[in-house]
Amino acid sequence: MDIYIAEEAGFCFGVKRALRIINQLYDSGQGIQILGELIHNKNVLKELSDKGIHCIHSLEEIDLNKKLVIRTHGIPLYIENRIKEGNYSYIDATCPLVKKIHNIIRKLNRRDTQVIIIGDEKHPEIIAAKSYATHAIIINSISEALSLASYKHISVVAQTTLNTAFFKQVIPILEKKAEKIEIFNTICSATKVRQEAVKKLAPGVDFMVVIGGKDSSNTKKLYDIAIKENPNTFHIENSSELNDPEFSGKIESFDNVGITAGASTPPQEIENVKIFFEKYKIEKERKDG
């Protein structure tokens, strides 16, 4: 079985930065708490928990003897203000590209324009971003874009992990909804490259494996893109899921596999999946031969 790994896969800049902050604090002997789940990857969160680094979900849970680290997806403005006013010892590990969206929305909110955020209203990144506007409208489908009222002036930002193809579909609809429109394409460049790499790889292999958290927005987008290009696409959180006999039955007639991974997926997990298929190849050749 031939194994192909997408040109861009695994940890993105924001995740690497956050983990570097965490590890530097840990190595210095500093106690650490994370406000919210640092990233959407159960394996990484378990590794942190094993080190005594736990996620909390409200300021009431703060241990004043520990350094508070803000998650990569960011937090709502009112919570950030409470942290500053409370003089808590903290480090902001929000991805700089997410903070860029906050700053854009903050500036737009001072002007006479309707802020439109394209993204998932339930995702922590969008919950945080929305808090920087007095009244932002969130849309996440073509139908929501079509049903939007008309405005004199609208300003558009996007979730960093948004599907770039979807963004391109929505913008022409929004352009018809206002006399004036400002578009800020805030989709992370690594997200764009990762999505393009999957779109390029998926049609040329027998099946695809997408590695990443089931709650990870960018991983879900990769899966959605891959399965459109290749119906034989599987989403797993870690390599142990490949040991399922049912999975082996589905791929036994295939000769090659494409592998990609979400921005919160550790490099070692990608390597574990690669090793699995290398062993699978050897075992298959032994049986066939």
pLDDT value of position 10: 86
pLDDT value of position 8: 85
DSSP state of 69: E
pLDDT value of position 282: 85
Average pLDDT over residues 233-237: 96
Q: In this predicted model, what pLDDT tens digit does every residue of 274-288 receive, in sequence order?
A: 999 999 888 877 877
Using CB atoms within 10 Å of the CB of residue 121, give its burial: 0 to 12 exposed, 13 to 18 middle, 19+ buried. Answer: middle
CA distance linking residue 210 with residue 138, whole number of Å: 28
CA distance linking residue 99 with residue 251, whole number of Å: 42
Segments forming the whole domain that contains residue 83? 13-94
Average pLDDT over residues 184-208: 94
Instruction: Tell me, yes or no, whether 173 and 209 share the same domain.
Output: no
36 φψ region: left (φ > 0), alpha (ψ -120 to 50), beta (else):
left
Q: In this predicted model, what pLDDT tens digit does every residue of 63-99 receive, in sequence order?
A: 999 999 999 999 999 999 999 998 899 999 999 999 9
pTM reported for the whole predicted model: 0.88
Whether the CB-CB separation of 3 and 180 falls below 8 Å is answered with no
Instruction: Tell me, yes or no, whether 89 and 101 share the same domain.
Output: no
Instruction: Tell me, yes or no, whether 198 and 177 share the same domain.
Output: no
Instruction: Tell me, yes or no, whether 195 and 281 share the same domain.
Output: yes
CATH code, domain carrying 203: 3.40.1010.20
Query: Structural domain tally of the chain?
Result: 3
CA distance linking residue 50 with residue 52, whole number of Å: 5
Active site residue 125: yes
Closest of 117, 120, 75, 107 to residue 93, by C-alpha:
75
Q: Report the percent of the chain where pLDDT is more than 70.
A: 100
Q: In this predicted model, what pLDDT tens digit does every residue of 21-57 receive, in sequence order?
A: 999 999 999 999 999 999 988 889 999 999 999 999 9
Of the pLDDT bands very low, low, confident and very high (cuts 50, 70, 90), residue 289 is low
Instruction: Tell me, yes or no, whether 206 and 266 share the same domain.
Output: yes
Using CB atoms within 10 Å of the CB of residue 240, give its burial: 0 to 12 exposed, 13 to 18 middle, 19+ buried. Answer: exposed
| Active-site option among 125, 237, 241, 246 | 125
Instruction: Tell me, yes or no, whether 122 and 141 share the same domain.
Output: yes
pLDDT value of position 287: 77
